[in-house]
Amino acid sequence: MAALAINDTADGRRTLALTGRLDATTLPGLWDAARRAAADAPRRPLVIDAAGVEYCDGAGAALFVDLLRQPREGKVEVANLHPTYAALLKQFDPAVLVHDLDPEPPRRPAIEELGYAAFGVWRDIRTQVQFIGETFAALVFAVRYPRSVRWKDVWRICEQVGADALPIVALISFLLGMILAFQSAVPMKRFGAEIFVADLIGLSMLRELGPLMTAILLAGRSGAAFAAEIGTMRVNQEVDALTTMGLSPVRFLVTPRIIAAVLMTPLLVLFSDLVGMVGGAVTMQSFSIPIVTFLKEIDSAVTLTDFLAGFVKSFVFAVLVAGIGCLRGLQTKAGASAVGDAATRAVVSGIILLVVVDGLFAVAYYLLDI
């Protein structure tokens, strides 16, 4: 336990007598009282009598420093402190601890913040354009000199991007097909048109939902993984090591990932299309539409153009997701939180880009009458 006694002497001094153990467990009740006692008599000389202090650790020393650093007109001194603890106290300079030596920078005015934000967006666009150029050059180089590609890495990444993603793609696509079938079959049944659910599922899965859902899953899974992996390499200075060894990080890290994504995404899209239609077919069984009838209807409704319209997108989506994941990874700053930021930015900007590009495809197909 610790205690404080306040005594005003005849010669005009105020004495704060501290006794007992001064540590983090005993000080909470004492701290404010000691400060108040010192502040109540700002003109009197203040003596902090430590004769009764049995133990004093860093928190105890902080109380002494706090009393010594307070601005007051009267003189202040610590008396009778055991030399052990006096030596501890002498390590700290109250003058240094009066002011915050590293204060937070003042907030910029709103208009300045807006300017900085706009500049940040402009810089990001410029970086992306630069990155697209570098990546394109690296891919051209890879086509011209296939031996320069680290194929061992490509197959490893193919497994991560493709085979490992099969269960989640299967689950989402199957459920998507089922939900689509249920949601559309009920109103269509009123008109006796439930057979056309097959047309709807076939067209929407092949042209739109198969490629888009697969790409979104890829952005959440592989895009984030690319950003985190390359980001960690950046934090650990592995990317710097590549650069100083004369190896281009884009050629060494980005090219294998983009090749793997371009090889795997179309296959995943095919798989997603198929499983989505199976999900729809299973649901339509409960509406008395046999699987054979369902498949025949799809066959009559869907053309090769519809299939290719979706399939072509998968290549573009693959480049976007892998590219943005790698770019965010390479942009990682220092620290563990920066890796998390990079992964988050990879997913967010990946999904935004996917939706925007998908919209552009829709407009282009409309104009081309595809």
Residues that bind another protein (CB under 8 A): 23-25, 27-28, 31-32, 46, 51, 57-59, 61-104, 333-338
Residue closer to another protein by CB (options 81, 343) is 81
CB 301 within 8 A of CB 202: yes
104 versus 369: smaller Cβ distance to another protein: 104
Q: How far is the CB of 243 from another protein (least distance, A)?
A: 20
Secondary structure class of 91 (helix, strand, coil)? coil
Q: How far is the CB of 84 from another protein (least distance, A)?
A: 5
Asked whether 6 and 31 are in contact (CB, 8 A), the reply is no
Residue closer to another protein (CB basis): 65 or 142: 65
What's the burial of 176, exposed, middle or buried (CB within 10 Å: 0-12/13-18/19+)?
buried
- Of 62 and 319, the one with the shorter C-beta distance to another protein is 62
Distance of alpha carbon 137 from alpha carbon 151, whole angstroms: 18
Closer residue to another protein, CB minimum distance, 64 or 226: 64
Read off the amino acid at residue 162. G
For another protein, the closer CB: 82 or 150: 82
- Least distance CB 220 / another protein (angstroms): 23
Q: Which one, 87 or 121, has the nearer CB to another protein?
A: 87
CA atoms of 218 and 243, how far apart (whole Å): 29
Q: At CB < 8 A and 24+ separation, what contacts does 87-93 make?
A: 88/56, 88/58, 88/61, 89/61, 89/64, 89/65, 92/61, 92/65
* In the complex, least distance from residue 61 CB atom to another protein, rounded to whole angstroms: 7
SS3 of 351, please?
helix
CB of 57 to another protein, least distance (A): 4
Contact between 342 and 229 under an 8 Å Cβ cutoff? The reply is no
Calpha distance 181→286 (Å, rounded) = 11
CB of 370 to another protein, least distance (A): 48
10 Å Cβ neighbour count for 325? Answer: 34
Cβ–Cβ < 8 Å for 76, 95: no
**Two structure tokens written together for 210:** 């198969």
Give the residue with the Cβ less far from another protein, 91 or 244: 91
CB of 97 to another protein, least distance (A): 6
Edge to edge, the sheet with strand 2-8 lists 2-8, 14-22, 46-56
Shortest distance (Å) from residue 116 CB to another protein? 19
269: amino acid identity, one letter: V
